[in-house]
Amino acid sequence: MILLPEDVQVVVQGITGRQGSLHTKLMLEYGTNIVAGVTPGRKGQKVHGVPVFDSISEAKEEIGEVNASIIFVPAPFAPDAVYEAVDNGIKLVVVVTEHIPVKDTAKFVRYSRSKGVTVIGPNTPGIIAPMRRVKIGIMPASSFSPGTIGIVSRSGTLTYEISESIIREGYGTSTTLGIGGDPITGLNFVDVLKEFEKDDETEAVILVGEIGGNAEEEAAEYIARGYSKPVVAYIAGRMAPPGRRMGHAGAIIMGSAGTVEAKERALEKANVPVAKKPSEVVRLLKEVLRR
């Protein structure tokens, strides 16, 4: 698996909210080691057996080590939650929250990087490693099975669909990571491809992109320089009109930039097969694994 500590100890920031509580339950059922929750003013409560504290520093005083956080805090307060996690020595922060202003995201991403902290998101479904039974996010566990295929994606729903399709053909996933659908995110495709290249549990990679931005083109340039593992791709948004946002804040075509066609050309130039529809991904995966 990539990016996850060997001994994962998670704090849920915003644990007493509806989404925080629901997904704490689902993460616990999957096997994730959630050691604490944080909601200011709710100290002493328990959510699905997880003790709640007013702050991360207070949680650490009582329970000791915490090395990962997932944030379900509303957008106006989410940046402060990130800063709190970073300043308390947490090295992996998953930001599920959407609608965070881009300028705020840029600031906390820059600050986190300066402290050596990995931020996944914002607006991400998170990260899941089926072999280790670790899920820090909101992905449906039933869509993932242990295996050797890494998935990195900008789209949550498509990720689940593609994972389910490869499971039906006898494959599974090592780690699946949603980088997030906002214009600025803590990780980009290149960051995650580098991690998969170092990971002995990952045999090949599926890259799920979408319209908007140039993250896929940057990934293609990186792969073209000599990536050591097979990669296949799918780009969502073929029918999206220019200037109209498709789902995510970052999924918007501006002029000639960010189109499906431009991204496909870049990837195919880097010898990455690109599926025209999600159902074709597994066929392309089989082909690259036979090479």
Per-residue pLDDT of 124-160, as tens digits, reads: 999 999 999 999 999 999 999 999 999 999 988 899 9
Q: Give the E-state strand segments of 14-171 in sequence order.
A: 34-38, 46-47, 50-53, 68-71, 92-95, 118-120, 126-129, 134-137, 146-153
**What global pTM score does this model have?**
0.93
In a domain, 3, yes or no: no
Per-residue pLDDT of 154-170, as tens digits, reads: 988 899 999 999 999 99
Both 144 and 280 in one domain: the answer is yes
Distance between CA atoms of 28 and 33, rounded to whole angstroms?
A: 7
Q: What is the pLDDT of residue 63?
A: 94
Q: Which of 23, 48, 99, 248 is catalytic?
A: 248
Here the tokens at position 35 are 């050691």
Domain residue limits at 274? 139-290
Chain-centre distance for alpha carbon 110: 18
Distance between CA atoms of 155 and 174, rounded to whole angstroms?
A: 18
In a domain, 4, yes or no: no
Name residue 45's amino acid: Q
Mean pLDDT of 198-225: 95
Mean pLDDT of 185-198: 98
Per-residue pLDDT of 63-113, as tens digits, reads: 999 999 999 999 999 999 999 999 999 999 999 999 999 999 999 999 999
Mean pLDDT of 241-263: 60
Could you tell me how many residues make up the chain?
Answer: 291
Report the number of distinct structural domains present in the chain. 2
Is 48 an active-site residue? no
Distance between CA atoms of 30 and 19, rounded to whole angstroms?
A: 16
Both 172 and 240 in one domain: the answer is yes
Q: How confident is the model at residue 211 (pLDDT cuts 50, 70, 90)?
A: confident
